[in-house]
Amino acid sequence: MIPPIARMLFRHLVKGPHTLRAVPPPDPDGSEELARALGERVRERLGRSLSIRAVDAGSCNGCELEIHAVNAPVYDLERFGIRFVASPRHADVLLVTGPVTVNMAEALRRTFEATPSPKWVVALGDCGRDGGCFAGSYAVVGGVDRVLPVDLHIPGCPPAPKQILAGLLALLDSVAAK
């Protein structure tokens, strides 16, 4: 009997990856162009490598779900050389989600200190800008910029994968402008 994994792999070989199929050509919402532009920028400016460390500083887990979505095969961030790493010591970018809670502020600061320079901080989601609907609580410091220098903010609650791709593209542009 042919094992199911072999069947599944064979189907992908014949039919091609989901990444190409799931983005509807000629792409009415522009995510294909966006993805292509992102790939080119990464190649020319960072030599095909950008490492991101995601830090949840108090989020509701909504932003994390959409980060998982850009990582999943349909958007497949890794095809551009952008990948999520396990340690801040391996990272170029800290992708911070959530209103920063009082209990997470120090951990966030230490994560930043552990990241080697040059480094960039991206605040993801509406809470990351100013605390969102949690602003004003005794347990919330506020937006990410209350704790770390933020280079870019990606809006949305949570930002859709397309917005996350667009945000990373904007970051690469600003990196080149520096």
Query: Under the rule (CB under 8 A), what is the footprint of other proteins?
Result: 3-5, 8-9, 18, 22, 54-69, 71-74, 84, 86-88, 98-99, 101-108, 111, 132-134, 136-140, 157-158, 160
Which spans in the chain are helix H? 4-15, 18-22, 31-46, 62-71, 105-114, 126-130, 161-177
In the bound complex, what is the minimum distance in angstroms from residue 175's beta carbon to other proteins? 22
In the bound complex, what is the minimum distance in angstroms from residue 138's beta carbon to other proteins? 5
CB-nearer residue toward other proteins: 143 or 158: 158
CB 103 within 8 A of CB 61: no
CB-nearer residue toward other proteins: 139 or 176: 139
CB-nearer residue toward other proteins: 51 or 59: 59
For residue 71, the surrounding DSSP H or E stretch is: helix 62-71
CB-nearer residue toward other proteins: 11 or 43: 11
Q: Token pair for residue 2? A: 């042919």
In the bound complex, what is the minimum distance in angstroms from residue 173's beta carbon to other proteins? 24
Q: 86: which DSSP letter?
A: S
Give the Cα separation of 147 and 57 in Å (integer). 11
